[in-house]
Amino acid sequence: MKDCIFCKIAAGELPSKKAYEDEQVLAFYDIHPQAPVHILIIPKTHCASGAAEITPENSAVVARCFEVAAKLAGELGVAGGFRIVTNNGAKAGQTVPHLHFHLLAGRDLHLTMG
Ligand code: 5GP
Ligand code: ZN
């Protein structure tokens, strides 16, 4: 989608520090990390602006995003303690309207929902 920062990152038009990439999914390190491990996992195509737009037609890539999260958590040695977050809408703190999942780990996460 035009003027979407994550579409541009997925297309390689903007730089990112990649953690994983395949035909459907890109994972890259968040520019303002909220935890020692903070990776954004996105569908490469702009199939939804946020989780409210997940449907039977586009949910396969959502499953793929979670597979990638599990794989990365294992590779990074945090499989025993990580969190996957998606913010939907400005009221929930969403700032980039391209479906994405935050993979957070490496600090004590059990006391907060953030
Ligand atoms: P949201 O607030 O929409 O749930 O998450 C958007 C995330 O994207 C934020 O954590 C923010 O730090 C990150 N972000 C925004 N712009 C960029 C960018 O250009 N590069 C990277 N790597 N992360 C970005
Ligand atoms: Zn996009």
Encode pLDDT of 28-59 as tens digits. 999 999 999 999 999 999 999 999 999 999 99
Q: Indicate the top mutation candidate among 16, 31, 34 to test ligand 1's pocket, ranked by most ligand atoms within 8 A of CB.
A: 31
Of the listed ligands, the closest to the CA of 4 is 2
24 within a domain of the structure (yes/no): yes
Count of other CB atoms within 10 angstroms of residue 31: 9
> What local confidence, expressed as pLDDT, does residue 93 receive?
96
113 within a domain of the structure (yes/no): no
> What local confidence, expressed as pLDDT, does residue 111 receive?
64
112 within a domain of the structure (yes/no): no
What six digits make up the tokens of 42? 């996105």
> What local confidence, expressed as pLDDT, does residue 102 receive?
98
> What local confidence, expressed as pLDDT, does residue 85 receive?
97
Cα 36 to Cα 30, 45, 78: the distances in Å are 10, 27, 11
For the chain, residues with pLDDT lower than 70 are 111-114
Strand 37-43, strand 82-85: pairing? unpaired
Residue span of the structural domain in which 25 resides: 5-105
Q: Residue 46: which CATH number?
A: 3.30.428.10
Q: Catalytic residues, which ones?
A: 100
CB-based contact 20:27 (threshold 8 Å) = yes
23 within a domain of the structure (yes/no): yes
114 within a domain of the structure (yes/no): no
CA-proximal residue: ligand 1, atom 1 (nearest)? 94
63 within a domain of the structure (yes/no): yes
- CA–centroid distance, 96 to ligand 1, in Å, is 7
Distance of CA 36 to the CA centre of its chain: 15
CB-based contact 43:65 (threshold 8 Å) = yes
> What local confidence, expressed as pLDDT, does residue 114 receive?
55
> What local confidence, expressed as pLDDT, does residue 109 receive?
85
97 within a domain of the structure (yes/no): yes
Domain count, the chain: 1
98 within a domain of the structure (yes/no): yes
What six digits make up the tokens of 101? 């999942």
Distance of CA 18 to the CA centre of its chain: 12
